[in-house]
Amino acid sequence: MAALQDGALFVHHSRNITAENNIFAMNPGTQIDRGGIGGFELTFQANLIYYRQGTAVGSYGIHRSARDICAFDRNLYWNASGNPIRFGSQSLSQWQAAGQDRETLIADPLFVDPDHGDFRLRPDSPAPRMGFKPWVFSAVGPRPGSETAKAP
């Protein structure tokens, strides 16, 4: 059976991509997937990864040396189902032995209400310890009176 390739972020045959200070949540298969032909294609740091099914990082490209195609560090991972965090078929300790996420945290990011799409952080969230800068949600998206807000 072929691996499911449906990451919320799927990096493939790209160069010099940095994903920093993002929230990746609730994707049904994998949250992040990467593959490619070598060279650092993805730098992934200070992100929040929150899910209930699938894996944190997919298995696509995992047969290659992880350091050939990506650099992960200072991220916060949480599997709200209670199952272990998986990096392809690897545990966190195996993933770290491959040079990834050495300064990462497995902890609930303490979103206000993720089941209803409220990904604001509660004041006691551990996310800022990983370098994550909380978003100001009122400053993103269409605002009243803007051309975008008027579009049908």
Write out the DSSP string of 15-54: -SEEEES-EEE--SSEEEEE--SSS--EEEES-EEEESSS
The answer to whether residue 129 is domain-embedded is: yes
Number of domains in the chain: 1
Q: Tell me the backbone φ, ψ of residue 71, rounded to 5 degrees.
A: -140, 110
118 assigned to some structural domain: yes
3 lies in some domain = no
Beta bridge partners of 42: 17, 70
In a domain? residue 145:
no
Q: Does 146 reside within a domain?
A: no
| Domain limits for position 42 | 9-134
The candidate with the shortest Cα–Cα distance to 75, out of 110, 151, 126, 139, is 126
- Prediction pTM value: 0.83
For residue 150, tell me if it sits in a domain.
no
- Per residue in 2-57, pLDDT (tens digit) is 445 567 888 777 778 899 999 999 988 889 887 666 656 788 999 999 999 988 99
In a domain, 4, yes or no: no
User: Does 123 reside within a domain?
Assistant: yes
